Amino acid sequence: MAETKISVTRKALKTPRSAAIAGIIFAVLYGASMVLLNVSLSQDTAAGLARTVADPRTVFLALNLIPYAGIAFLWFIGVIRDLLSESEDRLFATVFLGSGLLFLALTFIGAALAAGLLSASAIASSVLIQSGVMIYGSTVVYNIFNIYAVRMSGVFMISLATIWLRTGVMHRGWAFLTYVLALVLLLSIDYSFWVTLILPGWVLVISVYILIRNLHNRPRDGAAEEMKTTQ
């Protein structure tokens, strides 16, 4: 009986820490990819939708970081759901999971299309520009990243904030802050580099908070469990 209690306690301690580590990895990799993409694109064209590639190697590096960021984000979703366990609300949990997966799918699709355009441009740049394929492809990539994926990240944040309010897993202040940031993502119209950094920045702050709280609670929980075992 005592061994079962210790096992449950250890699982509860490790779960938030795993979510925090996965969130930090995602935030760093995804944020770095967005920064690299922004600094490597310059000279706005086609009403600001298509942009000229200043450094293809930097773009390739940014696009190669995205799959690893996606893996960390998927792990972050799984650990958060495991943390909520039986207290998880089915309605908002479905929206939470669905929006997170859609965000990942859209991000991967946008990255794949961008990589294809970049490779084709290196081989036949003049043909792509004269035919209009470059402008069309750049516009599609722009819409995927900055409209659809951004909106899904906003829905993801709103659903998770609502789950936090219902379950009390996180402080209410974090939930209200998440609502505000999510509304910015949902209602933003014009492109802004800072908007793309809201999700990774939010995940980073939340993950660091979870990690710190977990480290503070660990000694007390371990001592309490040790007392129960001795009894």
Domain spans, the chain: 2-221
Q: What is the 3-state secondary structure (H, E, C) of 90-109?
A: HHHHHHHHHHHHHHHHHHHH
| Inter-CA distances, 91 with 62, 76, 149, Å | 35, 19, 21
Better-predicted residue by pLDDT, 122 or 171: 171
pLDDT digits (tens, 9 = 90+) for 122-168: 787 777 777 777 778 878 888 888 889 999 999 999 999 998 888 88
pLDDT digits (tens, 9 = 90+) for 26-41: 999 999 998 888 776 6
Evaluate whether 166 touches 88 at the Cβ level (below 8 Å).
Answer: no
Nearest to 188, CA basis, from 146, 158, 141, 216: 146
Calculate what percentage of the chain has a pLDDT beyond 70: 75
Evaluate whether 207 touches 170 at the Cβ level (below 8 Å).
Answer: no
Q: CA torsion 156→159→165→167, rounded to 10°?
A: -100
Query: Which residues are paired to 50 by β-bridges?
Result: 45
Question: In this model, does residue 46 exceed pLDDT 70?
Answer: no
- CA distance linking residue 24 with residue 209, whole number of Å: 11
Q: What is the mean pLDDT of the chain?
A: 78
Question: In this model, does residue 89 exceed pLDDT 80?
Answer: no
- CA distance linking residue 126 with residue 149, whole number of Å: 30
